Chain A
Amino acid sequence: MTERLWFLIPEFVVLVGAVSCAILGVSRSVTVRRSLPIVAFITLIIAFLASSYVYSPASMEIAIGPGAVPLPWLGRVVIPVVVIVGVLLVMVQAGFIDRSYEGEIAAGEARFNPLRTSRGEYYAFFLLSLCGLMLTAAAPDLVWLFLALELTSLPTYVMVAISRNDRRAQEAAMKYFFLGALSVAIFLFGFALLYGATGTMELMAMKDVLVARAADTGSIGSLATLGLLLSILGIAFKLAAAPLHLYAPDVYEGAASQVTAFLGFVPKAGGAIALMLILSVTGWMDDGGMLPDPILVTLWVMAVLTMTLGNIGALLQTRIKRMLAYSSISHSGYILIGIIAGPGAGFVAVLVYLLAYGIGNTATFAVLSSLRRGDCEVESIDDLAGLREKHPGLAWAMAISAGSLLGFPPLLGFWGKLLLFIAGVASGHLVLVVIAGVNSAISAWYYLRMVALPLTGAASSASGSIERREYGGPRLAALASVVLLILLPLLLQSMMDESADGVLSLEELTEVQQSQVAAVYDLP
């Protein structure tokens, strides 16, 4: 069993990075403190390199060995996705936390006091949360899954609270924390019921029990169903899926843009991955396996509600972060289509979509993070009017990322959505896809405002006072994201191939491994 620790090397790297950040953050040297983003960046890059080294054909045997997980190769995809988006997020964060305090120190008005600084722990939390996300993908049992999800979430509560010295940030943190705790209780109770129904915490064993029971009695039993439903509903909080999506607008609005960018991606990805894993206990990754109807119906209803409520909620908003929050809710709905579509095409689509959404989301918030009115953030969407007159680059970045989030060809978002739709159609959920299509059209309404106001609108007196932030990190992130949104479709095939590898089930991976062994040893 211990050889499985091999797969945790990337997570260890990130953990080490996090600890380093926490330590370096209290350094007296300004240069060291300033280098924290670079440390985080390097950590992520090393984690990426480690992941490609860890998930190699040679380690396949360990992956399929004892203590196997339902999706043994998932980390191979999730870690690069997390790293790509993580790197972009690091750029967005760069220079933001503790800005005024550092300014005071630089001006000689204050002396450095390790108690007053929070930069170190901010980056540490940032990396810890990412680490949690990576760990989620590797979860073999419920305990691990629980801990990984908590590791993903807990730092974000702190990040929201310390993101800016504003009442709204604290309100957001409060709501986020308390509602988060509620959701944790819900899915934990679900876990308890699952455990009660099967007598094991390990996902694979649990699957075996449930499959055997379904073969005997025709169903997995109401206790297991109830446990699954509760788990799904609890995890829906992480995903910001209806009906547990309500916190998202408030929290996203309250947190600083930089943190919102983070919140838009990391917990959501964790939720999606956790859903994929927890649903594996129904045995639907096996040949001929399918979701029990109550689960399917619940997911279906959640998907429809999530995308619809998200999109129509966004229509009414005048504050841009709140609007983007609703938009991120709707994206959870689209992601649920992929989950419903199931192992194979559906999961591939989810992973590609997570990447597309993560980049697009980061790009919009990167633009918002690059702008300020006085010392405050950009609040109203009308503040973006006529942005191109002063900052054409940011205006274009906003438009392109909105286009990608809308799913407009040929940007990356389109391909993500297309794969989701294809998976949906292929799994027989045409109606769901049509509903998603209608929702896309509804979303065009507000995304177009994000395109139209910066590019075609005329600057108003309100928007005239919008200026660019002095530090370039977010701008760089916006530029990088936009480039990725435009160019990544060219790599779509390899992205799909990687994702397809990533979602190979244990049996499939075993077959692959055996055929590789056969190739290496030239066996018949």
Chain B
Amino acid sequence: MLGVLLMVVPLVGAVAIALSPSRAAKGIALVATLAGLGIAILAAIDFSDWGTGGWGLEYNLPLLPAMGISLALGADSVSMLLMLLTTLLMPLAILGSWTAVSDRLREYYGWLLLLSTAMIGVFLARDLLVFYICFEFTLVPMYFLIAIYGSTNRAWASLKFFIYTFLGSLFALAGFLYVAWANAEHAGAWSFAIPDLVHFASTGLTTGEQGWILLALMAGFAVKIPLFPVHTWLPLAHTEAPTAGSVLLAGVLLKLGTYGLFRFVLPMVPAAVVEWAPFMGVLAIIGILYAALICWVQTDVKKLVAYSSVSHLGFCVLGLLALNPLGLQGSVLYMINHGLSTGALFFLIGMMYERYHTRDMGTIGGLGSKMPVWSFFMVFFVLASVGLPGLNGFVSEFLCLLGTFAAGGTGAYPGVLGPWFAAAAALGMVFAAMYLLLMVGKIVFGSLREPSGVHSDLPADLNAREILVLVPLAIGCVVLGVQPDFVMHAIEGSIADTLASYPTAVTDATEILVGRGGMP
């Protein structure tokens, strides 16, 4: 029941907001999200399958028995973590927009709460259609958040965001439906239960079919991640979105794509993944380097951080494609870490924007002397993002790359990437330092430059509320940087499950090559 509660609480909050006067909206939203966080923590404490790969929070309500569709919820450790990340970011997002949003409050907080429901739904879904519905539904609140509360080019940005991701996910839907149908043909009854379909697809489909399904699913998830070259909606959406929108977009919504990869693509179509991993790996690497260089020449801070997401998520994808526990561990950690650190960066940029109404590094800079606390956090999260050891970014980046590097054929999990992939991607570490330090060097350091005019009645430096938003994220960064172990042990089982068909799939693929004389 906790799982349903997690989804229902924000929904109830949204309804309550719709029914109450607009000055109460913030408060209700905060209470609802805090309640959600509380429930999530309770659920995490209650969850007994940390580390084992088992499922908790299970709930099943048949919706459409004829089609085997049901409101099936459940969480393994990875879902649990991402759900915790979501519920953590939600109250922060609401606190972070406390003063930034002054117009159409009820809709704003209502949409945020609906977004929360949908995001949690994605992570908890145990039914393919529930997953798909929530996955799609995240678009709506985000669309409105951008289209109503965005900056100048918001209409175009929101439209592009919506249609781009919608088109991608329709392909994914086609793929899902094909799997469901094939399963129905095979089993004699329709089912959309994820375990059934995953099991069936990985064993019952030919490599050719798997390849098509991989393409279809990737059309949906790659856009969401976003993987080069289908990333161009992201910078636009990020630049135009309000702060909380950017935070949730970077913090959670992008993870829906990698989560989809983790939950569906990898276990469903192992043979195709083995076949396509090098190609996707190359795309990820191009994304890492290409986006990093683009970051380097940005003048708009928010765009810079947006492109950095493209670059960072490339590591995440690479880790997944490593097809070994190291890479997957790194990748799952990356999802969480990127949510914390990039989320925080967007918060910080939002705080700056609220004060100066500019994001242009040409007109603003040297805030270190005027906003020391803000600058401290800025530098801190930039370092977390750069991957300074001791902070969270390092652990995940390191494991992703080590996994990719090791995916050359040693150990129990032979992969299909290898050292050259890792070496090329590792260049991204240097580039990350280049563009992020450039940003810090411009907006934090140097002599003070600020646009004239007062735009806000906030104090010059951060106030207690804003610090309160950042501190949990900072604590998260440090804890996950110094003690990633507990997370890694917690997700071991789920990762092993996801990888269950891999050693064989890779070996089979290589054996076929050997048979063809493709082996050097």
The reply to whether chain A is a binding partner of chain B is yes
Question: Using a CB–CB distance below 8 Å, which chain A residues touch chain B?
Answer: 403, 408-410, 414, 418, 421-422, 425-426, 430, 433-434, 437-438, 440-441, 444-445, 448, 452, 455-457, 492-493, 496-497, 500
Collect the chain B residues with CB atoms within 8 Å of residue A448's CB: 143, 159, 162-163
Residue of B nearest to A392 (CB): B107
Give A471 Cβ to nearest chain B Cβ, in Å.
27
Give B410 Cβ to nearest chain A Cβ, in Å.
40
User: Is A444 a contact of B162 with CB atoms below 8 Å?
Assistant: yes
Docked CA distance A426–B158 (Å): 34
Cβ of B7 within 8 Å of any chain A Cβ, yes or no, is no
User: Is B66 a contact of A496 with CB atoms below 8 Å?
Assistant: yes
User: Is A422 a contact of B66 with CB atoms below 8 Å?
Assistant: no
Give A514 Cβ to nearest chain B Cβ, in Å.
22
Docked CA distance A440–B174 (Å): 12
Interface residues of B in 319-351 (CB under 8 A from A): none
User: Is A409 a contact of B148 with CB atoms below 8 Å?
Assistant: no
Asked, given contacts A438-B167, A441-B167, A493-B65, whether A452 binds B136 with beta carbons under 8 Å apart, the answer is no
Please indicate which of the listed interface residues A409, A421, A457 has the most CB atoms of chain B within 10 Å of its own CB: A409
User: Is A497 a contact of B67 with CB atoms below 8 Å?
Assistant: no
Docked CA distance A497–B66 (Å): 8
Question: Using a CB–CB distance below 8 Å, which chain B residues touch chain A?
Answer: 63-67, 129, 132-133, 136-137, 140, 143-144, 147-148, 154-155, 158-159, 162-163, 166-167, 170-171, 173-174, 177-178, 180-181, 184
User: Is A445 a contact of B163 with CB atoms below 8 Å?
Assistant: yes
Docked CA distance A438–B170 (Å): 7
Collect the chain A residues with CB atoms within 8 Å of residue B66's CB: 493, 496-497, 500
Collect the chain A residues with CB atoms within 8 Å of residue B177's CB: 421-422, 425, 433
| Further pairs besides A421-B173, A455-B147, A456-B154: 9, Cβ < 8 Å | A425-B177, A426-B184, A433-B174, A433-B177, A438-B167, A444-B163, A444-B166, A456-B155, A493-B66
Docked CA distance A504–B162 (Å): 40
Docked CA distance A448–B140 (Å): 10
26 residue pairs from A and B, CB less than 8 Å apart? A408-B136, A409-B132, A409-B137, A421-B174, A422-B67, A422-B177, A425-B181, A426-B184, A433-B174, A434-B171, A434-B174, A437-B170, A437-B171, A437-B174, A438-B170, A440-B170, A444-B162, A444-B167, A445-B159, A448-B159, A448-B162, A452-B158, A456-B158, A492-B63, A493-B66, A497-B66
Collect the chain B residues with CB atoms within 8 Å of residue A444's CB: 162-163, 166-167
User: Is B166 a contact of A430 with CB atoms below 8 Å?
Assistant: no
Docked CA distance A444–B170 (Å): 12
Collect the chain B residues with CB atoms within 8 Å of residue A430's CB: 174, 178
Identify which of A410, A433, A445, A493 contacts B137 (C-beta below 8 A): A410
Please indicate which of the listed interface residues B129, B159, B163, B170 has the most CB atoms of chain A within 10 Å of its own CB: B170
Docked CA distance A241–B66 (Å): 31
Asked, given contacts A440-B170, A441-B167, whether A452 binds B63 with beta carbons under 8 Å apart, the answer is no
Residue of A nearest to B135 (CB): A409
Collect the chain B residues with CB atoms within 8 Å of residue A410's CB: 133, 137
Give B105 Cβ to nearest chain A Cβ, in Å.
14
Asked, given contacts A425-B178, A444-B162, A492-B63, whether A408 binds B167 with beta carbons under 8 Å apart, the answer is no
Collect the chain A residues with CB atoms within 8 Å of residue B147's CB: 452, 455-456
Asked, given contacts A409-B132, A422-B177, whether A456 binds B148 with beta carbons under 8 Å apart, the answer is yes
Docked CA distance A496–B68 (Å): 13
Give B86 Cβ to nearest chain A Cβ, in Å.
19
A-B contact count (CB 8 A): 80
User: Is A441 a contact of B155 with CB atoms below 8 Å?
Assistant: no
Collect the chain A residues with CB atoms within 8 Å of residue B155's CB: 452, 456-457
Asked, given contacts A430-B178, A455-B144, A497-B66, whether A441 binds B136 with beta carbons under 8 Å apart, the answer is no
User: Is A493 a contact of B159 with CB atoms below 8 Å?
Assistant: no
Residue of B nearest to A500 (CB): B66
Collect the chain B residues with CB atoms within 8 Å of residue A437's CB: 167, 170-171, 173-174
Residue of A nearest to B65 (CB): A493
Collect the chain B residues with CB atoms within 8 Å of residue A455's CB: 144, 147-148
Give B455 Cβ to nearest chain A Cβ, in Å.
21
Collect the chain A residues with CB atoms within 8 Å of residue B132's CB: 409
Give A438 Cβ to nearest chain B Cβ, in Å.
7
Docked CA distance A455–B154 (Å): 13
Docked CA distance A441–B170 (Å): 8
Docked CA distance A110–B144 (Å): 51
Collect the chain B residues with CB atoms within 8 Å of residue A403's CB: 140
Collect the chain B residues with CB atoms within 8 Å of residue A441's CB: 163, 166-167, 170
Docked CA distance A515–B365 (Å): 82
Docked CA distance A493–B158 (Å): 34
Collect the chain A residues with CB atoms within 8 Å of residue B67's CB: 422, 496
The 9 A-B residue pairs whose C-beta atoms are closest, nearest first, are: A441-B167, A437-B170, A409-B133, A456-B147, A425-B177, A425-B181, A456-B148, A426-B181, A444-B163
Give B319 Cβ to nearest chain A Cβ, in Å.
30
Please indicate which of the listed interface residues A456, A496, A497 has the most CB atoms of chain B within 10 Å of its own CB: A456
Docked CA distance A418–B65 (Å): 15
Docked CA distance A425–B190 (Å): 13
Collect the chain B residues with CB atoms within 8 Å of residue A500's CB: 66
Asked, given contacts A414-B133, A437-B171, A456-B155, whether A493 binds B181 with beta carbons under 8 Å apart, the answer is no
Residue of A nearest to B164 (CB): A441
Residue of A nearest to B182 (CB): A425
Asked, given contacts A426-B181, A426-B184, whether A452 binds B174 with beta carbons under 8 Å apart, the answer is no
Residue of A nearest to B62 (CB): A493
Residue of A nearest to B184 (CB): A426
Docked CA distance A268–B74 (Å): 42
User: Is A409 a contact of B136 with CB atoms below 8 Å?
Assistant: yes
User: Is B180 a contact of A496 with CB atoms below 8 Å?
Assistant: no
Give A221 Cβ to nearest chain B Cβ, in Å.
33
Docked CA distance A40–B14 (Å): 39
Give A363 Cβ to nearest chain B Cβ, in Å.
17
User: Is A492 a contact of B148 with CB atoms below 8 Å?
Assistant: no
Docked CA distance A296–B144 (Å): 42
Docked CA distance A492–B163 (Å): 27
Residue of B nearest to A431 (CB): B174
Residue of B nearest to A427 (CB): B181
Give B448 Cβ to nearest chain A Cβ, in Å.
36
Docked CA distance A510–B396 (Å): 64
Residue of A nearest to B133 (CB): A409
Residue of A nearest to B137 (CB): A409
Give A362 Cβ to nearest chain B Cβ, in Å.
22
User: Is A408 a contact of B163 with CB atoms below 8 Å?
Assistant: no
Residue of B nearest to A451 (CB): B143
Collect the chain A residues with CB atoms within 8 Å of residue B159's CB: 445, 448, 452
Residue of B nearest to A456 (CB): B147
Docked CA distance A414–B166 (Å): 13
Docked CA distance A492–B173 (Å): 19
